[in-house]
Amino acid sequence: MTILRTTFLSLLLLMSAAGATSVAIVVSPDVPVDELSFSEVRKLFLGERQFWTPRLRVVLLMRAPVAPERNVVLRTIYQMSEAQFRQYWISKVFRADVSAGPKIVYSTEMANDLVNAIPGAVAFIDAAQIPKGLKVLKIDGKLPGDKAYPLH
């Protein structure tokens, strides 16, 4: 079983390296949203939407550089390179739009744990590694794996 799991993970990593990663947007259980449009997801990740409700603030979690999921998000949502992404957040903090940039997480497990624990948290993870019970947002009515799902 462990050999099969390891083999599966190896294949998954290879697929990720080849750019075939499908990314799921996951949120903490208290987020009162089940579905967003792609534009709304973009506003979340650009820091232009900072509140889920007036009582619940968005806490944006970003995977650290090199993770394939991050590359998907930079390419599809941000349409920015790493350098442009850095400059974007430095500029946003400097303009006093936000007090800080997104929080960095270093692994899917860490993202899963923090999304479950922090009120208002939103993160993205490899769709193939979604653990049971994690709340996954639909984007334009679609879940990861559906035809025309936009984040891959």
A 10 A CB-CB count for 68 gives 19
- Give the contact letters, 98-127, x = binds to other proteins (CB under 8 A), - = no: -xxxxxxxxx-xx--xx-xxxxx-------
Q: Residue 17 Cβ, how far from other proteins at the closest point, in Å?
A: 6
Position 55 contacts other proteins (CB under 8 A)? yes
Judged by CB, which is closer to other proteins: 46, or 136? 46
Q: How far apart are CA 113 and CA 81, in angstroms?
A: 28
DSSP result, 111-131: HHHHHHHSTTEEEEEEGGGPP
Q: Which residues contact 2 (CB under 8 A, 6 or more apart)?
A: none
Using the structure block, give the residue that is written with the tokens 């860490």. Answer: 110
Is 7 one of the binding residues for other proteins (CB under 8 A)? yes
For residue 29, state whether it binds other proteins (rule: CB under 8 A). no
What DSSP state is assigned to residue 142? Answer: B
Give me the residues that bind other proteins (CB under 8 A), please: 2-3, 6-7, 9-10, 13-14, 17, 30, 37, 39, 42-43, 48-51, 53-57, 59, 62, 64-67, 79, 81-87, 89-91, 93-96, 99-107, 109-110, 113-114, 116-120
